[in-house]
Structure 1
Amino acid sequence: MRWILLQGMPTRLHDESENYLLNMCNILGFFKYTLKNIPDVQKVVLENAPGNFLMLAPLIQKDIINVCAKETTKAIIEELGDGIFSILVDVCADLCDKDQMTLFLRYISKKGEIIERFLGIVYVPDTNSLTLKATTESLLMEHSLSLSRVRGQCYNGAGKMQDAIHDIKTLIMRESPSAYYVHCFSHQLQLTLAVVAKKNADCNWLFVDVLTTLVNYVDGSPERK
């Protein structure tokens, strides 16, 4: 499971029967690979395991993933220690059109390296500044972190975050005056490229006429709704 999570691979597929060898799910595939190389393991897994200890049930795998997530987050908090950090916040809609907020930490390691770590993702009822500020603070408090230690804040200025940026950065700076705001460099680059592309007839045709129409068509499809 640790290897699957490290590689960002799915654990399950649409057909997970033991005889479905053409597109075997990763968990079952690893089990079968291990059986060939470690005879001792063969004695205690799959058909040789107790009926309630096959380790293949979706709920069991989700429990293992949650444990890995908690241990990873614990290691991040220990790495951060008592140091100061910056926060990177973004909001986007999932396939069900529900808003979810992601929070990253950016800090300097004990080796002097700049580190960015994913801390969590939370569904939010709306994207106004008060909600985003409260959600950010709540997620930090879950890991014994406070806004007083924040020395920087960065948000994606596109879409749902655009109207709330001014207010949320002000709210956080009231509690941590040193939490200086920096606009997302990636979004700045995106805006710059968009302006430059419009000056080129071929690029303007591709991005404005073709891709915009395609994105609007896909976004409005019944499957996404």
Structure 2
Amino acid sequence: MRGEFNGLKVLILQENDTVFYIYCFAHQLQLVVVAVAKKHDGVSNFFEQISMVVNVVCASCTRKDLLREQAREGVQKGLCGGELETERRLNQDTTLVRAEDTRWGSHFNTLTSLMKLFSDVLIVLEFVKVDGGSLANRQQASGILAYFKSYEFVFTYI
């Protein structure tokens, strides 16, 4: 955005030299929060694990389809049991959201989508642990499942 030669600021100032450029303070705040969080070992490890979950679960179409199918079955059971309501835009989250350091609230959206799909994600991870394409994939899924069962995860997540 602020590139010295090709940034948006320069392009705008070339068109109109009377414009003032004000850097987004919310963006700066997000970068500061992410930088501070990465300095804390527990928080940094937590978000690295969450990032690995998104990478493993969303790595192939088969895994994404399995996640969607599990979510669909869960919604059907919830609707039949009266646990879920049917309104516009409800019950539509069927994938995990990738966190980005520069997007305001993306870490929150990642955690929210993981909370909604947690049981479905566990099923996909179990599938990868057993039928993963490579040894590395199976080991990664196994490590994530072990982390989910650890005291550290439960303490950090809750």
Q: Answer 1 or 2: higher relative contact order, Cα 8 Å, separation at least 6.
A: 2
- 1 or 2, which has the higher strand percentage? 1
State the TM-score, normalized to the length of structure 1.
Answer: 0.23
